[in-house]
Amino acid sequence: MSARCPGAIHSAEAPALEVQDLAVVRNGRPALEGVSFVLEKGGNLAVVGPNGAGKTTLLSALAGLIRPSAGTIRVFGQPPGRHLCLAYLPQRPAVEWNFPATVLDVVLMGRVGQVGLLRRLGPADRAKAQEALERVGLASLARRPIRELSGGEQQRMFLARALAQEASVLLLDEPLTGLDAPAQEGILVLLGELTGEGLTVVVALHELDLVARHFSQALLLRTRPVALGAPPEVFTPAALRAAYGTALHLLAAPEGTLALGEACCPKEPR
């Protein structure tokens, strides 16, 4: 997928994402401190933590939308600002759902960066968009107005747009919020398939159980990294208490420890 990535040359031997001592200051306060991790091509990482822990800040910094106050980010060995092959899906994208567009129109917008100024989208772009829609299972809805989509279909449409963009790194901020269980499962299975095809995926999530089932790496965050590693190693009672504090209630149940949190999500500072 990363064969052609306008705006940046990939170093073949560099990892997909390499973050070192990343710190971000927002409104005079540290929003993120001392975050380091390496994610190889085809890797997946779930970023978890309480509201305000810096999950959105981390993803925005990776997307090159906000400038780190310290530390470095490398995407295939390059700074993030120049990468068209980085796709970022914000939490509840601030799009106008009454916009007169079909699903295919929105997916085609993924091609705008590749096509460049003063050129029109052509048949090749249409084919790419159609292919992306098929990949996420939305081909039958291509001509549907976007206002008629369900929450799960909306997320799939944005994933298709990222694929049409030929992104090799996907950054998703709480893509499961507001979806029912089957739709959540569907998105996670799709993400699993995409990483299998070589895409690198970073997802901010609240659902710890889903992280444990679907992700090979988790980063537990509370402004500073609390724990990083495979989910079973990360989700220890001590680490969860350190991250969530009093917002978390741990319960010893027959099947193991149950973590009950104020997981979701009235006011995440952006």
Q: Which parts of this chain interact with other proteins (CB under 8 A)?
A: 7, 63-65, 81-82, 84, 86-88, 90, 93-96, 99-102, 105-106, 109, 112-113, 115, 117-118, 120-121, 145, 161, 165
Cβ–Cβ contacts within 10 Å for residue 181, how many? 10
Q: In this complex, which beta carbon is closest to other proteins, that of residue 29 or of residue 253?
A: 29
**Residue 137 Cβ, how far from other proteins at the closest point, in Å?**
21
Cα–Cα distance measured from residue 144 to residue 166, given in angstroms and rounded to the nearest whole number: 23
For other proteins, the closer CB: 126 or 241: 126
Rounded to an integer, what distance in angstroms lies between the CA atom of residue 55 and that of residue 3?
A: 29
Comparison of 42 and 81: residue with beta carbon closer to other proteins: 81
Please say which residue, 84 or 190, places its beta carbon nearer to other proteins. Answer: 84
Shortest Cβ distance from residue 60 to other proteins (Å)?
A: 9
Separation CA 70–CA 28 (nearest Å): 14
| Least CB distance to other proteins at residue 254 (A) | 45
Nearer to other proteins, 114 or 223 (CB): 114
Q: How far is CA 264 from CA 51, 177, 230, in A?
A: 8, 8, 23
- Locate 231 and state its tokens: 């989910």
Tell me the C-alpha distance between 169 and 64, whole Å: 13
Q: How far is the CB of 260 from other proteins (least distance, A)?
A: 33
Phi, psi of 227 (to 5 degrees): -155, 150
Q: Which residues pair with 73 in a beta bridge?
A: 19
Tell the smallest beta-carbon distance from residue 84 to other proteins (Å). Answer: 6
